[in-house]
Amino acid sequence: MALDLDPERTAAVVVDMQNGFCHPDGSLYAPASEEAIDPVGDVIARAREAGASVVFTRDVHPPEQFEGNHYYDEFDRWGEHVVEGTWETRIVDGLDVREDDHVVTKHTYDAFHGTELEGWLSTHGIDDLLICGTLANVCVLHTAGSAGLRDFRPVLVEDAVGFIEEDHREYALDHAGWLFGEVKPIEDVSIT
C-alpha cells in the first residue's frame, strides 16, 4: 500500500552513513552498510526532488566519553569507533550532503538523545520522518523508536538500511512496524 507524504512536513533522516560503518577501512564496517549507500542516495534524491528536508546524523565519540561511566560504554561493547576528529566520523563518499541539510552530531544510538534534533524538526513543521541508514537494529531502530515516542511518524525505508546480519535487519523492521512506526520499500513512498 502506497504512502503519500507532504514534502513540507517530511524529512529524510539518514542515520550514521559514515566511513567508520560503511567503508571497508572503518573499524565497524559491515558490507551491508556499504551496500546501503546507493539506496540511501535514492531516498535523499527523492526527498530533494519533492522539496522535503534532509537530515544526516553522525555518531561521534570524544575519546574520553565513557570514562567514569557506571554502565553505558560503547567502546567496551564495540571497541573504539567513530572517535571525534577522525576520518571515521565523516559521512561516506557517494552521498550528496549539501549546505542546507541539517547535520546532527550524536553521542549515543538515539539521534534525539542530548541533541537539538527534536527542536529543529518541530521548528520546521516536520512530522513525518523517512528513516534510512545504519545499523538497522542499533541506531536506526533507537532513533525511530525515539521519534515515535515524541509523536513523529517514523517510516523506516526497508530497502535502505544497513545491518551486520540479515536477521538483525528483519528483527528491527518487524519490531518497528509492530510497535511504533511503519515500514515501507522506497517504491511505496510518494512525497507530493
Rounded to whole angstroms, the Cα distance separating 12 from 40 reads 9
Is 100 in contact with 106 (CB distance < 8 Å)? Answer: no
CATH of domain 3-64+74-191: 3.40.50.850
**Count of other CB atoms within 10 angstroms of residue 186:** 16
Tell me which residue has cell 528483519.
170
C-alpha cell at 94: 557517494
What are the distances in angstroms from CA 174 to CA 35, 72, 136, 171, 181?
21, 26, 11, 5, 10
**Count of other CB atoms within 10 angstroms of residue 66:** 17
Residue 191 zone, left/alpha/beta (φ > 0; ψ -120 to 50; rest): beta
| Amino acid 171: pLDDT | 98
Low-confidence ranges of the chain (pLDDT < 50): none
pLDDT in tens, 81-98: 999 999 999 999 999 999
| Amino acid 2: pLDDT | 84
What are the distances in angstroms from CA 20 to CA 3, 37, 83, 131?
33, 13, 9, 19
| Amino acid 134: pLDDT | 98
Quote the pTM value.
0.97
Rounded to whole angstroms, the Cα distance separating 64 from 59 reads 15
β-partners of residue 10 are 128
| Amino acid 1: pLDDT | 75
Spell out where the chain has E strands.
3-5, 10-15, 53-59, 102-106, 128-133, 153-161, 182-184, 189-191
